[in-house]
Structures are given as C-alpha cells and as structure tokens.
C-alpha cells in the first residue's frame, strides 16, 4: 500500500514539476524575477537560495509551483524591479511563459517514450500462429509457422508493426515477403477492409485473417469424415503424429507437410464421467491411425478447427433456450458462414440485443433459429460496472502463447518512434476532451485521484515500462487540459494576453475576478464529477 502511495505521489509530483519547470525556465529567459521554485506543497523540508530564487522541497510531493514577482494584480514591487514583474511584461512574453508549462507536459512524453523504447525489449514476433479458414490469408496460401518479413516492401519486425502496416492497405493485392522452412518467398494477399470506430477516431485497416497465437491442435470432427471413420472425435487433442510431438498447429502443419500415407496419431480425449448432476471429463490417451487426406494442416486429418464447435452452454442463457448443446457445430450467422469463433463474437457484439438468425448442426441435423442476446452486468478492471448482452456459448479452443523475441532499438530508432507516437496520443487526447462537450464521450469516463492511484498501482505491477507510459499519457492530458480557455488555467492566460496584444489594454480587473470565480466553479464541478465516478466504480 505504501509503495503504491509513493508511486502515485511520484507520478503527480514529476508531472506537475515538469509543468512548473517550463514556466520557470522561460520566465528566467524573459527576465522575470522568480522568487521561489518548489517541488511539493506545504511546509519546507529542504531548501537553498541561489541568486534571487529560493529552491525547496516541500512536505507534500503531489506537485509543485513557481512564484514570480508581480504575478498578482496590484502587487507592490520596488520601483527598480517593477519592470521585472510578470504582469509588467509585454503580452508576447507572458504568452511564452504561460505556454511553456503545457508545452513541457506535451514534450516530456517524448523523453519518456525514448527510454521506454531504447534498448532490448521482448516483443511479439511476426510469426503467423493461426490462419482463419476461408480468410484472405488462407486464400493466399499463408499457413501457421510462416514469418512475415515485409509488407509491400516495408520491413516489419514485430506483430504490431505488421498490423500497423495494413492501415490504409485493403481490398487490393498486397505483396508479403515471408520466410517458410528457412527460405524467403513472396505471396500476395488481398486484405478485407475493417473500420475501427470510436468516439476518438476512425481507422480503416486491412485484415488478412491471421493471429499471433498458435492454436493447440484440438479437432473438430464432422460426421462421416475420414477423421470420424478413423475413430477421432470432436475435441480430441492431437499430442503426436508418427512419434513427433505437436504442441501447436504451426508444428502440426510442418509435420504433416513432410508425411504421406498412413498417419499414426496419439490423441488425448476427455472421457465423460457422471458425478451426480455434474458431468466431468477425465483425460485418456488413445492411439489411432488414418490415411493422410488432401489438404494442409487439420484438413490432412479429415478434420477442422474445434473453434466452430460449442464446448459449453451457460444454463438459462439465450443459447440454451434456443436448443444449443455441447458439441453442436456453428454454421452461419444471418446466412453468412462463420469463419472463426472470435469473428462470430465480434459480429454478434455489434448487434447488441437485436435478434439474429443462427444456424448450427447437431445430432438432430441442421437448425436455424432467431435468437437475441440477453443483458448481464459485468464488473470491469477498475471497478466500473457495465451491462452487456450475452449469448451464452463458449468454444473449446485453446491457444499457445505467441512467439516472443528480443528487439534491440538503437537510440535514433527509439527517438524516431517516440517522436512519432506522442503526436498521435496528443491528437487522440484532444478528440477525447472535445468529445466531452458534444456528448460523444460520456462524463462517466472521467477519472479522478482514486482512479489515477489504481492505474499507477496496476501499471507498476505490470512493469516500469507500463508505469512510464501511464506517466506519459497523464502528462499529455495535463498539457492539453491546461490549454483550455478556462479561467485559472493557462489557456485563459493565453487568451488574456492575446486580448491585450490586440486591444492594447488588459482585461479589466473586475472581469478577471468574475472569470476566476466562474473558472474555479467549473473546475470544482469537474472534480466532483471525477470523485463521483471514482466512488461509484
């Protein structure tokens, strides 16, 4: 607990100090007399005076402040120093001083991300773990175990880089450089268009139907197939082929590509055992043989992926009421073939509680039923309770971890990446804040100190990289929010200085006083909303 409090205090202290450091340095450069620079609030713990400025560390490390001479209207200054007061400066200098705080908050994340990216990091490789049936990747001939080296000539080293390379690339042939069995080759894939929309932004990207995680070779066995005739059953897990262990489908593809004729399979099967009202499935190992079938991967066994088969049905759910049972094969959604269980979940998620036609094949043949998901309450990571509809079916489809590799970024590569990602986050932050004013982003998304504390604690558990990225995100938020033209914030001081430069006279003191009261009321209201959201979470 005390460690989490310390991390939370460090988070706030560093970000507010960076903000105030911007004001401090530019004020010094503009000739303004700076009386005090404080890290923290409250009673002074340590301090010293250098030149005309007192530097101190205060008791509460939750921020900091800069005290400049003449920054309050009507403040008395010695005649010889009156010209060095903040309000005595020309508008352009005051604008620079005010702007420096938010600019430092927006620039500081570049330094943070530089240290996050610099050096050796473990990342997900471009090795294809799984190829979805009937996907563009499957049509192009990609298979598990292939390693993507370049997308349309653009080198990719990580799975994220590969995914980002498909932004704006879709519905046309895209040449991929891949490595298979130690040799490079070119394959052309025509990605489908996928639109990812949120209140913040809309991204159009190509999807080719691959996953980084490789599937554990668990079988889906159609009736009257070669696999069924050989004695294989749905949800059998292939352990070995001709004595070679197959931990995932990538290895299974490689092994089967080198085999012909009769295949000797070692499989694990869950044997049903009744224990009262509960049916448990105890594992047993079997040895079976069959002739290799035409096709690659699971097709060479006369089988398909188990992801199309229902492994469990939630009691009382819409799925159970519609008649879905263990082992049923999902066929189509609203007449369109189901190509993967994940895609099926995404599709029905977009339908909300609207009815849809679901076709499946079971012991009694093929059935089509109109069905609608029912709402349930779900508690999310930081305590938010959301209500979402569910269907109530699960697929018995396990994945092995995606391949992880060490990526070593040189300093110039780290700097380039950090300089590229920060403007993107700034843009997203601006859109998110703007969304609060047009109701596209709900007020319930605003978080206060409690949520920040939880996020600091959670990110530190995940590692320093996550903690630093959280610090970068909050720094950007702090910078953008301070640029809003709300009295008390830096944005209003920018507007006031701009007004003075145009009208050749300052905003009347009375107007400033009223504006400050209004601004304070707005900030208090915002904090109350944040605290309310934190407490209800």
* Number of domains the chain is built from: 3
To 5 degrees, how large is the angle CA 293–CA 259–CA 208?
70
Place 221 in a pLDDT band, splitting at 50, 70 and 90: very high
Checking if the pLDDT of 199 tops 80, the result is no
**When comparing pLDDT for 224 and 280, which is higher?**
224
Question: Tell me, what's the pLDDT at 382?
Answer: 47
Name the domain boundary from 153, 178, 212.
212
- Per-residue pLDDT tens for 111-149? 999 999 998 888 899 999 888 877 899 899 998 889 999
Question: Do 194 and 160 share a structural domain?
Answer: yes
What is the reported pLDDT for 142?
A: 92
Which of the listed residues 186, 212, 238 is the one where a domain comes to its end? Answer: 212
Residues 386 and 512 in one domain: no
Taking only the tens place, the pLDDT of each residue in 171-188 is 999 999 999 988 999 999
pLDDT tens readout for residues 520-530: 787 777 778 77
Q: E strands along 85-182, which residues? A: 119-124, 130-131, 147-151, 154-155, 174-180
- Position 404 in a domain: no
The pair of structure tokens assigned to 41 is 């609030």
Identify whether residues 154 and 181 lie together within a single domain. Answer: yes
Q: Is the pLDDT of residue 388 over 70?
A: no
Mean pLDDT of 24-39: 90
The verdict on residue 279 lying in a domain is yes
129 within domain boundaries: yes
- Listed residues 399, 425, 460: the one ending a domain: 399
Residue 211 near residue 129, CB atoms below 8 Å: yes
Contact 492, 486 (CB under 8 A): yes
Query: Does the residue 474 lie in any domain?
Result: yes
Cα gap 58→65, rounded to integer Å? 10
20 is catalytic: yes
Q: Is 433 domain-assigned?
A: yes
Q: pTM (2 decimals)?
A: 0.70
- Name the residue among 11, 10, 6 with its Cα closest to residue 475: 11
Structural domain containing residue 282: 215-399
pLDDT at 60 over 80: no
Residue 55 scores a pLDDT above 70: yes
In a domain, residue 405? The reply is: no
**What's the token pair of residue 451?**
């949520």
State the CATH number of the domain containing residue 256. Answer: 2.30.42.10
Range 22-34 average pLDDT: 91
Residue 162's alpha-carbon distances to 32, 127, 132, 427, 528, in angstroms, are 51, 10, 17, 23, 43
Residue range 87-113: average pLDDT?
Answer: 92
In a domain, 525, yes or no: yes
Q: Answer whether residue 69 is part of any domain.
A: yes
**Whether residue 192 sits in one domain with residue 277:** no
Active-site entry in 20, 211, 304, 307:
20
- Rounded to the nearest integer, the mean pLDDT of the chain is 85
Distance in angstroms (rounded) separating the CA atoms of residues 100 and 94: 10
From the CB of residue 20, how many other CB atoms can be counted at a distance below 10 Å?
21
* Per-residue pLDDT at 231: 93
Residue 355 sits in the same domain as residue 231: yes
- Beta pairing, strands 192-197 & 336-337: unpaired
Q: Containing H/E element for 290?
A: strand 278-291
Residues contacting 508, CB < 8 A, separation 6+: none
* Tokens (6 digits) for 411: 């300093």
Separation between Cα atoms, residue 502 and residue 496, nearest integer Å: 10
Answer for the pair 441, 199: CB distance below 8 angstroms, yes or no. Answer: yes
Residue 137 and residue 75 share a domain: no
Long-range contacts of 141-144 (CB under 8 A, 24+ apart): 141/187, 142/176, 142/178, 142/187, 142/189, 142/208, 142/210, 143/180, 143/253, 143/296, 143/297, 144/214, 144/215, 144/248, 144/249, 144/250, 144/252, 144/253, 144/297
Q: Does residue 91 sit in the same domain as residue 185?
A: no
Q: Are residues 196 and 166 in the same domain?
A: yes
Does 226 share its domain with 172?
no
The whole-number average pLDDT for the span 231-259 is: 91
Tell me what pLDDT residue 266 has.
Answer: 94
Pick from 6-10, 195-199, 257-261, 398-402 the range whose average pLDDT is largest. Answer: 257-261
> pLDDT exceeding 90 applies to what percent of the chain?
35
Cα dihedral 147/151/152/154 (nearest 10): -110
In the three-class reduction of DSSP (H, G, I as helix; E, B as strand; rest coil), residue 325 is classed as: coil
β-bridge partners, 360 = 330, 367
Same domain for 329 and 271: yes
One domain for residues 333 and 238: yes
Question: What is the token pair recorded at 50?
Answer: 């250098």
Q: Are the C-beta atoms of 275 and 305 separated by less than 8 Å?
A: no
- Do 508 and 394 belong to one domain? no
CA distance 321 to 307: 21
């Amino acid at each position: 607990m005390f460690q989490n409090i310390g991390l939370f205090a460090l988070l706030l202290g560093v970000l507010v100090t960076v903000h105030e450091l911007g004001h401090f340095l530019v004020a010094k450069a503009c000739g303004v007399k700076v009386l005090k620079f404080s890290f923290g609030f409250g009673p002074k713990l340590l301090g010293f005076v250098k030149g005309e400025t007192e530097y101190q560390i205060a008791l509460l490390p939750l921020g900091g402040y800069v005290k400049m001479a003449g920054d309050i209207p009507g403040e008395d200054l010695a005649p010889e120093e009156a010209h060095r007061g903040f309000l005595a400066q020309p508008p352009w200098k005051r604008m620079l001083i005010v702007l420096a705080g938010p600019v430092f908050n927006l620039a500081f994340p570049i330094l943070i991300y530089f240290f996050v990216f610099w050096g050796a990091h473990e990342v997900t490789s471009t090795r294809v773990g799984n190829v979805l049936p009937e996907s563009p990747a499957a049509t192009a001939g990609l298979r598990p175990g292939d390693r993507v080296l370049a997308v349309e000539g653009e080198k990719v080293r990580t799975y994220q880089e590969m995914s980002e390379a498909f932004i704006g690339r879709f519905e046309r042939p895209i040449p991929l450089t891949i490595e298979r069995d130690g040799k490079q080759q070119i394959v052309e894939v025509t990605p489908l268009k996928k639109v990812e929309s949120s209140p913040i932004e809309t991204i159009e990207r190509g999807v080719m139907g691959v996953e980084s995680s490789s599937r554990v070779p668990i079988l889906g066995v159609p009736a009257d197939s070669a696999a069924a005739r050989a004695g294989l059953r749905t949800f059998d897990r292939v352990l070995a082929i001709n004595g070679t262990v197959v931990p995932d489908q990538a290895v299974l593809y490689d092994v089967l590509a080198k085999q012909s004729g009769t295949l000797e399979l070692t499989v694990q099967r869950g044997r049903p055992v009744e224990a009262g009202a509960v049916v448990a499935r105890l594992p047993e190992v079997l040895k079976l043989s069959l002739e290799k079938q035409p096709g690659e991967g699971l097709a060479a066994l006369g089988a398909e992926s188990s992801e199309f088969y229902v492994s469990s049905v939630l009691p009382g759910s819409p799925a159970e009421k519609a008649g879905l049972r263990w082992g049923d094969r999902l066929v189509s959604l609203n007449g369109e073939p189901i190509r993967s269980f994940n895609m099926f979940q995404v599709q029905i998620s977009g339908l909300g509680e609207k009815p849809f036609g679901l076709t499946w094949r079971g012991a009694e043949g093929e059935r089509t039923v109109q069905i609608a998901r029912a709402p349930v309450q779900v508690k999310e990571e930081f305590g938010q309770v959301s209500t979402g509809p569910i269907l109530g079916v699960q697929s018995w489809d396990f994945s092995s971890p995606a391949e992880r590799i060490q990526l070593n970024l040189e300093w110039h590569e780290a700097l380039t990446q950090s300089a590229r990602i920060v403007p993107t986050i700034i843009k997203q932050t601006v859109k998110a804040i703007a969304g609060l004013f047009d109701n596209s982003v709900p007020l319930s998304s605003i978080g206060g100190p409690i949520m920040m504390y939880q996020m600091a604690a959670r990110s530190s558990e995940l590692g320093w990289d996550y903690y630093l990225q959280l610090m970068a995100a909050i720094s950007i938020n702090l910078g953008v929010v301070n640029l809003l033209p709300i009295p008390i914030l830096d944005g209003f001081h920018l507007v006031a200085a701009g007004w003075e430069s145009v009208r050749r006279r300052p905003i009347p003191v009375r107007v400033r006083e009223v504006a400050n009261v209004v601004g304070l009321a707005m900030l208090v209201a915002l904090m109350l909303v944040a605290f309310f959201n934190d407490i209800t979470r």
